[in-house]
Copies of this chain bind each other. A is one copy, B any other.
Amino acid sequence: MDQLFVWLDLFGVFVFAVSGALAASRKQLDLFGFHFIATVTAIGGGTLRDVLLGQTPVFWVEHPHVIWLTAVAALLVYFLAPAVQSRERVLIWADAAGLAIFAAGGTIAADRAGAPPGVVVMMGAVSATFGGLIRDIVCRETPLLLRKEIYVTAAAVGSALMVVLLELDQPVELGYLVCVLATFTIRGLAIRYALSLPAYRPRPGRETP
């Protein structure tokens, strides 16, 4: 079963790498630039999680095939992106798939490292969101995090559901599945219907009494 998680995790790396390479295509970088952005996007969140938990060397030092996988994603996007009609849509959905898978993977990793429940949820959210955040900061785009549609929330809810299931001694596979489905569904609905939680609004009437 762990084997399945490994494959899903690689799929998550791949889709986040694609999202990074798509961002690089909008900046018209060269092939190494594609690989660079693809890699920081794909491994940024999990790397930060490992560093914070003290699980170093970080995961990809011992699993360097991850970096070859991001190279493949960069190559594919470099040569195929022009064929993709609407790159921004693809980027956003690739990001959503990565978000769901990394929320679950990050939750498992933090739980196994013995972190307390609140921290596990945070690590799930960190694993899921920081790669994309670094991508957006390096590429000088408005972080997806800062847009109105539900984003961190989706990962946090998915991760929290998984933590509850684990606390109830449910099998980790069930928790994983629930986390991925919940995160992707929430984020997907948010994208599709532009859903957002009530955003803070300044109320001028009360500010200037």
Contact = CB atoms under 8 A, between A and B. Distances in A.
Interface of A: 24-25, 27-34, 36, 39, 47, 51-54, 56-58, 60-62, 64, 67-68, 78, 81-83, 85, 113, 115-119, 122, 125, 133, 137-140, 142-143, 145-146, 148, 150, 152-153, 156, 196-203, 206-208
A36 to B, nearest CB: 5
Contacts of A57: 52-54, 113, 115
A145 B138 contact: yes
24 contacts: A24-B200, A25-B200, A25-B202, A29-B146, A30-B200, A31-B198, A32-B152, A33-B145, A36-B152, A47-B52, A51-B51, A51-B56, A52-B57, A53-B61, A54-B56, A54-B57, A54-B58, A56-B56, A64-B116, A64-B118, A67-B118, A67-B122, A81-B202, A82-B207
Copies of this chain present = 3
Contacts of A28: 148, 199-202
Contact of A78 (B27, B81, B142, B200): B200
A177 B53 CA distance: 32
Contacts of A198: 30-31
Contacts of A32: 150, 152-153, 156, 197
Contacts of A30: 148, 150, 153, 196-200
Nearest to A47: B52
A56 to B, nearest CB: 3
Contacts of A137: 137-138
A12 to B, nearest CB: 19
Given A139-B146, A140-B142, A140-B143, 13 more contacts: A28-B200, A30-B197, A31-B197, A32-B156, A51-B51, A51-B56, A52-B61, A64-B115, A64-B116, A64-B117, A64-B118, A67-B122, A133-B138
Contacts of A24: 200
